[in-house]
Homo-oligomer: A and B are copies of this chain.
Amino acid sequence: IERSLQAIVGGAGDGMSVSREAFRQTVGNTLERRLFYIPSFKIYRGVAGLYDYGPPGCAVKSNVLAFWRQHFVLEENMLEVDCPCVTPEVVLKASGHVDKFTDLMVKDVKTGTCYRADHLLKDFCNEKLQKDLTLTLEKAAELKHVLATLDDLSTDQLGAKIKEYGIVAPETKNGLSDPYPFNLMFQTSIGPSGLLPGYMRPETAQGIFVNFKDLYYYNGNKLPFAAAQIGQAFRNEISPRQGLLRVREFTLAEIEHFVDPEDKSHPKFIEVASLEFFMFPREQQMSGQSAQKLRLGDAVSKGTVNNETLGYFIGRVYLFLTSLGIDADRLRFRQHLANEMAHYAADCWDAEIECSYGWIECVGIADRSAYDLKAHSEKSKVDLVAHEKFSEPREVEKLVITPNKKELGMTFKGNQKAVVESLEAMNEEEALKMKAALEAKGEDEFYVCVLGKSVTIKDSMIKISKKKIVEHQRVFTPSVIEPSFGIGRIIYCLFEHSFYTRPSKAGDEQLNVFRFPPVVAPIKCTVFPLIQKPEYESVARLISKSLTAAGVSHRIDMTGTTIGKRYARTDELGVPFAITVDSQADVTIRERDSKDQVRVKIEEAASVIKEVVDGQRTWADVWSTFPHHATASADDE
């Protein structure tokens, strides 16, 4: 998941952001009060950017992960692996994280407090734009331009802007240091010697890449195939903001789909081609338009999306997120702009979900070409390649470059090695040009990069020829298509999208509800006796036992609180169904959002719940099958 996109957040008008803020507060309070989240190590006053999932949050998380496994791993027969978080430096050197996984930081020159340089600049510009009434049109345009290009600024440019605008430390108003890069990986040391540096992994993908060879073999040396991993990842943020969206430890679920770069078609693309949803291609963004509904099949056939495999995963991600309960109208797939994308990437789309913080990148779906496998091949000297066996051997012409090392040695002495290597590295065009020159003039000028100068190559120093050889297979580095899911962000957005309030009957308070679909709901069902009465309680226990045997997570609520209050309590946890025991023959099953109630025999109660929870049966079907509960809604008793 690319970090740069955080900048996209916000941008709504001031009034809008006030109501957003209020909504966020309401949801946040409910989530904390019901222990969906707990600030970690709270009794020690916590640590910024670390959160626990409390019981209902933890249940939602494991439901989301179980559904992810079903939807991706099982459905596509992916090879799931599980690698350690502790990673030796060499791996993250190869991946580029040791050198480039940084944010620019400035320090308060007196207190040493650290800030993200781009955050301070962004806050300054936003504040000026919103509150400074004396701002000239030119100045406003300049600040907007800074905001738009924030991610493109170099260290020096960022430092210059901070100086130019006189930005100081927010709390103390002290001056700030020049910006410098801070690596976001948690560093540690492996073993007792202190000589083997390691890091807590910043993503799970590298564990898959380094295992490519074994996984390819496991898959019968066939492409395409996908590997997957769910696990913790770590980023030592400079100053975490945005609550649950920007944390220092989080769960990633990543897929690395390995494919022949010459054939990125996908046999199951047809199954998602007719899906229509909001897409936000590069051109629309550049020309200031907004996202629009596109048919996925068209987006791929018109080349808006680079290839079928990438398109297939975009479609599958759409289905995944909406099945969880993400609102399709607040979900868009945004293509990376040229300046956001890594140089090696062929195409990249983010699933962005709109919440009170703005549009949040929750899934990144990137065609990373052969970059990762090549990087690890080079560093480890182990070939991470695939083979395509030809059905019949093919005769191909190959260029053969044979430097005469002895002669080159006599002429170039200590530089012989550099010259030889440069000659061997010539591409076909260069070599043929030299061959022609040598044949014509008997010598040629040749620029040796590492020496920084040209040398004269004589006819006797090299042989360049074309040779026909028979090839039995093609050897190539597979491309990688990577859908990468920030599970915590998806869950947070899901909480916001699922939350609504409704008035109590008395109208004196707003009741909170999470409209989780059963697959996500932390608890599927609550069981309670209408009143405290031993006969009802033993029926409740009986039903509870059947639910446990059926593997349906549930709670019994035996408290004497009014039935209305108990419903309100379970609605606030997003429990989709409640069984109220009010007789020794039948019970009432109530659905959370419609508040509709049906009468079901005690023996059937658990299996009815099991069926709707597993999706074998809809509530509409239950509603049309069983007698309706006649009395007025018990909600407000």
Q: Which residues of A contact B (CB under 8 A)?
A: 34-35, 38, 40-44, 47-48, 50-55, 57-59, 61-62, 66, 69-70, 74-75, 77, 79-88, 90-91, 105, 112-114, 182, 186-193, 196, 198, 200, 207, 210-211, 213-215, 218, 220, 227, 232, 234, 236-239, 248-249, 376, 379-380, 382, 384, 548, 551, 553, 555, 559
Contact = CB atoms under 8 A, between A and B. Distances in A.
A379 B43 CA distance: 9
A114 B82 CA distance: 29
Contacts of A248: 84, 86, 190
A625 B50 CA distance: 55
A207 B51 CA distance: 11
A551 B91 contact: no
Given A75-B548, A214-B35, A236-B192, A40 B207 contact: yes
Nearest to A381: B43
How many copies of this chain does the complex contain? 2
Contacts of A79: 54-55
A84 B52 contact: yes
Nearest to A79: B55
A86 B188 contact: no
Contacts of A384: 43
Contacts of A189: 186-187, 236
18 contacts: A43-B213, A43-B384, A44-B88, A44-B379, A47-B198, A52-B81, A52-B84, A52-B207, A53-B82, A54-B211, A54-B215, A55-B215, A62-B69, A84-B248, A86-B186, A113-B193, A191-B238, A191-B239
Nearest to A103: B192
Given A54-B211, A191-B114, A214-B35, A382 B85 contact: no
A81 B69 contact: no
Contacts of A551: 70, 74
A577 B23 CA distance: 52
B38 A214 contact: yes
Nearest to A47: B88
Given A52-B207, A193-B112, A234 B86 contact: yes
